């Protein structure tokens, strides 16, 4: 109720009714200082000009490729870098995603009850409120947001939510500057969800320009609906569709496994991320193992193993055959957590050494870890630091944030 009242007050205030003043103390608060990218970065500890070794000194100028004269920054070992979490915003209900639109450094924060907040100059205003269309309960709610790659021209954004019937809806909406045009909301995809959990929820435009959507296995436990290994249903799958240029409908791109389905074998890919040719998926495990997967998506569809495997171990039968199944690049047992929260590959500049590392957290224990493409794991923040970590954010300059069920946006920086 308090939340509804707050939203109503904000809406009324936005309409210019001076008789009602918004209780701004209830509004999400955002520290503006953290939204500003550092204009300069600390000088690197050393810059080394690569030089030709003596044995190569007699090559002619024509034979010297330009790359042999580039400079490289001496990088610190990851073990020498300390990260800290500082509060960058608070007062959200249950923020699950933070991102920016193309060519726009303002933050968009997805709040699971059904609101997208637009953060501008330290103030949060509702950009879209579909609370009445969304079932917010447990893993259900407003779960994903993606801006069309051509957003600057077509103003289209896409959301993923669980509606009042409990189904997944992917819908397109038109931007109108300071808010989204709610009346333009157009469903482009609807998938029946047989249970309330394992809904996936992430949507992202891939480097191929297609819209990728992650679906869990329908929920319950033990893949009880038998969705994990099916390619004729979207549940348990990563799907890939071609949306736009208009707000209606989609086409199926070539190269999928079957129809919309790009890959199968996922249990609950709550969050996934692209980094060039790499597709990183954090797939939530059942009772034993949490996993992070990474594949070269340009190599075509794959099978991520569920429910034949949980992590790299046989799930339902001993002696299962893992041939042809993607094994995790990193996994951890439930002695270390309970539910992996996938993040992003760091591509910021504040700490160049982190580039290429995929960050993720655990919802229950609240540590922050990263893993590189080779599977090397680094723990950055210990258990208890980010309890209730449900999502990640990235700002316009690629710096990292973690969102927790306490309604806080944590900035992750060197401390
Ligand atoms: Ca479900
Ligand atoms: Ca798997």
Of the ligands numbered here, which is closest to the C-alpha atom of 200? 1
Write out pLDDT tens, residues 63-120. Answer: 444 444 556 667 899 999 999 999 999 999 999 999 999 999 999 999 999 999 999 9
Q: How far is the CA of 311 from the centre of ligand 2 (A)?
A: 5
Is residue 11 scored above 90 in pLDDT? Answer: no
**3-class DSSP assignment, residue 131:** helix
Q: What tokens does 94 get?
A: 């249950």
Burial 60-78 (b: 16+ CB within 10 A, else e): eeeeeeeeeeeeeeebeeb
Q: pLDDT: is 393 or 32 the higher one?
A: 393
Q: How many Å lie between the centroid of ligand 2 and the Cα of residue 326?
A: 7
pLDDT band of residue 252 (cuts 50, 70, 90) is very high
pLDDT digits (tens, 9 = 90+) for 38-53: 233 333 222 223 232 3
| Alpha carbon of 342 to ligand 1 centroid (Å) | 18
The Cα-based distances of 346 to 72, 186, 315, 329, 354 in angstroms read: 19, 33, 32, 17, 6
What integer pLDDT is reported at residue 317 of this predicted model?
Answer: 80
- pLDDT tens, position by position, 190-248: 999 999 999 999 999 999 999 999 999 999 999 999 999 999 999 999 999 999 889 99
User: What pLDDT band is residue 402 in, cutting at 50, 70 and 90?
Assistant: very high
pTM for this predicted structure = 0.85
Domain boundaries, the chain: 83-414
CA distance 158 to 116: 12
Q: Which ligand is nearest to the CA of 234?
A: 1
* Alpha carbon of 3 to ligand 1 centroid (Å): 26
Report the separation in Å between the CA atom of 235 and the middle of ligand 1, taken as the mean of its atom positions: 8
> For the chain, give me the number of helices (H) and strands (E)?
2, 30
Which ligand lies nearest to the CA atom of residue 167 in the structure? Answer: 1
Comparing CA positions, the residue from 117, 139, 120 lying closest to residue 130 is 117
- The whole-angstrom separation of Cα 124 and Cα 71 is 42
Neighbours of 112 (CB within 10 A): 27
166-182: per-residue pLDDT in tens? 999 999 999 999 999 99
* Residue-level pLDDT at 318: 83
Q: What is the pLDDT of residues 285-326, one digit of tens each?
A: 999 999 999 999 999 999 999 999 999 999 988 899 999 999
Q: What CA–CA distance (Å, rounded) separates 217 from 321?
A: 20
The pLDDT-based confidence of 60 (bands split at 50, 70, 90) is: very low
Distance CA 156, CA 173 (A): 6
The mean of the pLDDT values for the chain is 87
pLDDT of residue 124: 96
Domain 83-414 class in CATH:
mainly beta
Q: Relative to the alpha carbon of 311, which ligand is closest?
A: 2
Exposed, middle or buried by CB within 10 Å (0-12, 13-18, 19+), for 17?
A: exposed
């Amino acid at each position: 109720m308090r939340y509804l009242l707050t939203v109503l007050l904000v809406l009324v205030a936005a309409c210019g009714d001076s008789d009602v003043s918004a209780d701004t103390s209830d509004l999400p608060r955002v520290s503006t200082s953290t939204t500003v990218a550092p204009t300069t970065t600390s000088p690197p500890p050393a810059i080394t000009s690569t030089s030709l070794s003596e044995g190569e000194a007699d090559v002619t100028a024509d034979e010297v490729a330009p790359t042999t004269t580039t400079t490289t920054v001496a990088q610190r070992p990851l073990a020498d870098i300390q990260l800290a979490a500082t509060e960058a915003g608070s007062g959200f209900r249950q923020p699950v995603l933070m991102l920016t639109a193309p060519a726009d450094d303002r933050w968009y924060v997805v709040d699971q009850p059904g609101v997208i907040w637009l953060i501008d100059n330290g103030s949060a205003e509702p950009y879209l409120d579909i609370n009445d269309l969304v079932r917010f309960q447990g893993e259900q709610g407003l779960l994903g947001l993606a801006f069309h790659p051509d957003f600057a021209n077509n103003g289209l954004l896409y959301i993923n939510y669980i509606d009042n019937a409990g189904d997944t809806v992917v819908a397109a909406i038109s931007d109108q500057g300071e808010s989204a045009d709610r009346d333009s909301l157009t469903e482009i995809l609807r998938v029946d969800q047989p249970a309330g959990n394992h809904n996936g929820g992430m949507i992202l435009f891939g480097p191929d320009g297609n819209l990728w959507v992650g679906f869990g296995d329908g929920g319950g436990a033990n893949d009880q609906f038998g969705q994990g290994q099916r390619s004729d249903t979207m549940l348990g799958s990563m799907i890939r569709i071609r949306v736009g240029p208009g707000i209606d409908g989609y086409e199926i791109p070539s190269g999928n496994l079957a129809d919309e389905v790009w890959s199968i074998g996922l249990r609950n890919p709550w969050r996934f991320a692209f980094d060039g040719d790499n597709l990183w998926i954090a797939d939530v495990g059942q009772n034993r193992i949490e996993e992070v997967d990474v594949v070269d998506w340009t190599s075509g569809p794959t099978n991520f193993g569920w429910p034949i495997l949980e992590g790299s171990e046989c799930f339902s039968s001993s002696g299962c055959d893992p041939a042809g199944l993607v094994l995790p690049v990193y996994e951890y047992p439930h002695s270390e957590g309970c539910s992996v929260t996938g993040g992003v590959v760091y591509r910021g500049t504040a700490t160049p050494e982190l580039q290429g590392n995929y960050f993720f957290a655990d919802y229950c224990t609240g540590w922050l870890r990263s893993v590189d493409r080779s599977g090397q794991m680094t723990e950055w923040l210990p258990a208890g630091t980010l309890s209730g970590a449900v999502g990640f954010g990235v700002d316009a300059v690629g710096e990292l944030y973690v969102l927790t069920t306490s309604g806080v946006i944590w900035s992750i920086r060197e401390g």
